[in-house]
């Protein structure tokens, strides 16, 4: 997809969806739209009905006060992909689960819960998936500390 097509698509999606706002530029070649946390589920449902039938990726990025949740949606019919982002405050980390829309979220949300400690409201089976059940903490948070973790000395 060329940047122009991408921009047009972004325009089209955001035009009839007042909840969405284009968040980031296209400089790295991906269309990114942001949405308020409370409206994530409704927006995702709209996008799914608009043809985004695949949920490719769910992940999060730790940005100190907030977590940025990143969803990558993909449409075969439009042959396009967009990133959907929402911000989750660190001390109140929850977000609606998208399992009802795409079962693909089942394991990926469990993974984000496991490694970041973000709760997915409405997830049918929110348990740790990669780490043992008795593991304490969420290792992909930037402030995670663990005596077992030996920091690599700075060679560079």
Partner 1 sequence: MALVDRISGALDSGPGGVILTSVDALINWARGQSLWAFPMGTACCAMELIAASFSKFDFDRMGTFPRPDPRHTDVMILAGTITEKMRPAVRRLYEQMPDPKWVVAMGNCTVSGGIFYYDTYSVVRGADEFLPVDVYVAGCPPRPESLQDAIIQLRRLVAEESIAPGRRHEQTTTLPRPKAGGDR
Partner 2 sequence: MAVSVESRNLVSAPDGGSREELVVNVGPSHPSTHGVGRVIVHLDGDIVVKAEPVIGYLHRGIEKMAENRTYLQVVPLTDRLDYVGSMYANWAYCRAVERLAGIAVPERAEYLRVIVCELQRIASHMMGIGASAADTGAFTFFIYAFDQRERIIELFERLCGARLTYNYVRPGGVSFDAPQGWTQDVLAFTKAFRAAAADLDRLFFGNVIARGRMKGIGVLSADDAVAWGASGPTARASGVNWDLRKHDPYSVYPRMDFDVVVGERGDAYDRGRCRLLECVESCRIIDQAISQMHPGPVRTEGLPRLLQPRPGEAYDHIESARGSLGVYLVSDGSVRPYRMHVRSPAFCNLALLPLLAEGHTLSDLVVVLGSLDPVFGEVDR
Positions in the binding site for partner 2 (CB under 8 A): 27-30, 53-57, 59, 61-62, 70, 72, 76, 79, 83, 102-104, 106-108, 111, 115, 128-132, 139-140, 151-152, 156
Rounded least distance, CB 44 to partner 1, Å: 32
Q: How many residues bind partner 1 (CB under 8 A)?
A: 10
Nearest to 145 by CA among 137, 133, 135: 137
Rounded least distance, CB 17 to partner 2, Å: 22
Alpha helices by DSSP H, listed for 16-156, are 40-49, 105-116
Cβ closest to partner 1, residue 124 vs residue 153: 153
- Specify the 3-state DSSP secondary structure of 113: helix
Is 7 near partner 1 (CB under 8 A)?
no
78 within 8 A of 47, measured Cβ to Cβ: no
Is 146 near partner 1 (CB under 8 A)?
yes
Alpha helices by DSSP H, listed for the chain, are 3-15, 40-49, 105-116
- Tokens found for residue 87: 């911000």
- Give how far Cα 114 sits from Cα of 96, 120, 151, Å: 16, 11, 22
Cβ closest to partner 1, residue 54 vs residue 128: 128
Nearest to 131 by CA among 151, 110, 154: 110
Integer-rounded Cα Rg, in Å, for the chain is 17
Q: Quick one: what does residue 64 bind among partner 1, partner 2, none, with the CB cut-off 5 to 8 Å set by partner type?
A: none
Cβ closest to partner 2, residue 38 vs residue 125: 125
Is 136 near partner 1 (CB under 8 A)?
no
Q: Of 132, 142, 143, 154, which one interacts with partner 1 (CB under 8 A)?
A: 132
Residues that bind partner 1 in the complex, under the rule CB under 8 A = 131-132, 139, 144, 146, 148-152
């Amino acid at each position: 997809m060329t940047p122009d097509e991408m921009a047009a698509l972004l325009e089209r999606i955001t035009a009839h969806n007042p909840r969405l706002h284009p968040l980031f530029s296209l400089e790295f070649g991906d269309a990114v739209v942001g949405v308020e946390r409370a409206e994530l589920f409704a927006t995702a449902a709209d996008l799914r009905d608009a043809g985004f039938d695949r949920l490719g990726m769910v992940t999060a990025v730790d940005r100190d006060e907030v977590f940025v949740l990143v969803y990558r949606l993909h449409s075969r019919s439009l042959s396009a992909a967009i990133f959907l982002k929402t911000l989750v405050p660190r001390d109140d980390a929850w977000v609606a689960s998208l399992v009802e829309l795409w079962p693909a979220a089942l394991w990926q949300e469990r993974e984000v819960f496991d490694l970041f400690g973000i709760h997915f409201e409405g997830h049918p089976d929110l348990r740790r998936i990669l780490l043992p059940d008795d593991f304490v903490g969420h290792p992909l948070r930037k402030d995670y500390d663990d005596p077992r973790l030996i920091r690599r000395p700075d060679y560079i």
